[in-house]
Amino acid sequence: DLCTTCGADQYDVTKISCRNVMVQRGLGKKLFMAPSDVAGWGIFIKDFAYKNEFISEYCGEIISQDEADRRGKVYDKYMCSFLFNLNNEYVVDATRKGNKIRFANHSINPNCCAKVLMVNGDHRIGIFAKRNIQPGEELFFDYRYGPTEQLRFVGIEREMEFL
């Protein structure tokens, strides 16, 4: 059964008010990878995005928290992790099976936010614009690191402010 109160039964996306439908149909923005001024690679948006507009789904392999802990120790040695907590039981690992949005870098002042949504009974991660985003802008969201890990990335951002 399809909910129709939010316009989920509509073909015209301008008549849909439910964000789940955008995730369900994969109606994200066009993105491209390029070198980032912050760290390694970054992901950039090709088209304008309005505040609260769906940008992309964070995809990857769904693994248990125990497996995520095991893999996390390996990824920490390389200082590169694409693990994203989905709920109390599962984690999305975008390392091998992820899409482009995994290259969005961390920021304490991000232009995107991640939201875990219930879509057709499954938890899925949507990335949404926190503000209007211009074409060609790099996408950032807050990884919600603990205070000690976050300090490393804050330093990078502060250095970038002076360049």
Asked if pLDDT for residue 107 goes beyond 50, the answer is yes
- Token readout for 129 is 């614009």
* 69/50 Cα distance (integer angstroms): 36
Which carries the bigger pLDDT value, residue 151 or residue 77?
A: 77
Taking residues 113-119, report their average pLDDT. 84
pLDDT for 143 equals 74
Asked if pLDDT for residue 48 goes beyond 90, the answer is yes
Confidence (pTM)? 0.75
Which carries the bigger pLDDT value, residue 136 or residue 38?
A: 136
Asked if pLDDT for residue 153 goes beyond 50, the answer is no
Dump strand ranges (E) for the chain: 31-35, 41-45, 54-58, 61-64, 83-85, 90-93, 105-106, 112-119, 122-129, 140-141
Asked if pLDDT for residue 23 goes beyond 80, the answer is no
Q: 79-88 b/e with 16+ CB inside 10 Å = b? A: eebbbbebee
Asked if pLDDT for residue 128 goes beyond 70, the answer is yes
Asked if pLDDT for residue 135 goes beyond 90, the answer is yes
* 22/56 Cα distance (integer angstroms): 9
What is the chain's length?
163
Asked which of 2-16, 28-42, 58-72, 77-91 is least confident by mean pLDDT, the reply is: 2-16
Helices (H), the chain: 19-25, 65-77, 94-97, 147-162
